C-alpha cells in the first residue's frame, strides 16, 4: 500500500489531503469501489480520517508499522500468559529473539 509507505517514510504527513475516491480511481485506472474499500480499511486502521465533505486526510500521529507491531506484541503476551509463561520469562524470550536469529515461519 503506497499510502502506508508514504506515511511511514514521512512523504505523507498528518493532515495531507488525499484525492477523492473517483479522482484517485481515474488516475490509477481502477474501479472506484477498490479505492473506497482501501480508504475504509485504512480508516479502520487509523491511518486515514474522513472529514465529511471536506475529504479524506492522513490521520494525526500515525505510524502504521508501529501500530501493527504493538498489536502483534500484545497478542504474543496474551498467548504466552495463556500458556502459563511468567511475565519475566516473556520479556526474556523477546530479548533473546531480538538478540539472536529468528527463523521465518
Task: Fold for 2-58, please state it.
Answer: Arc Repressor Mutant, subunit A (1.10.10)
- Rounded mean pLDDT of the chain? 87
State pLDDT tens for residues 24-63: 999 999 999 999 999 999 998 888 999 988 999 998 876 6
Domain ranges of the chain: 2-58, 64-99
**pTM for this entry:** 0.59
Task: Show Cβ contacts of residue 3 under 8 Å, excluding neighbours closer than 6 positions.
Answer: 12, 18, 38, 42, 47, 48, 58
- Residue with the larger pLDDT of the pair 22 and 52: 22
Supply the angle between the helices 64-82 and 87-99 in degrees, to the nearest 10. 130
Amino acid at each position: 500500500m503506497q499510502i502506508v509507505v508514504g506515511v511511514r517514510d514521512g512523504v505523507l504527513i498528518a493532515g495531507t489531503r488525499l484525492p477523492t475516491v473517483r479522482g484517485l480511481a481515474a488516475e490509477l485506472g481502477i474501479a472506484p469501489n477498490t479505492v473506497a474499500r482501501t480508504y475504509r480499511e485504512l480508516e479502520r486502521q487509523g491511518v486515514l480520517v474522513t472529514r465529511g465533505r471536506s475529504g479524506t486526510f492522513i490521520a494525526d500521529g500515525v505510524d502504521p508499522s508501529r501500530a501493527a507491531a504493538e498489536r502483534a506484541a500484545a497478542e504474543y503476551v496474551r498467548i504466552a500468559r495463556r500458556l502459563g509463561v511468567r511475565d519475566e520469562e516473556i520479556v526474556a524470550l523477546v530479548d533473546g529473539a531480538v538478540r539472536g536469529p529468528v527463523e521465518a515461519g
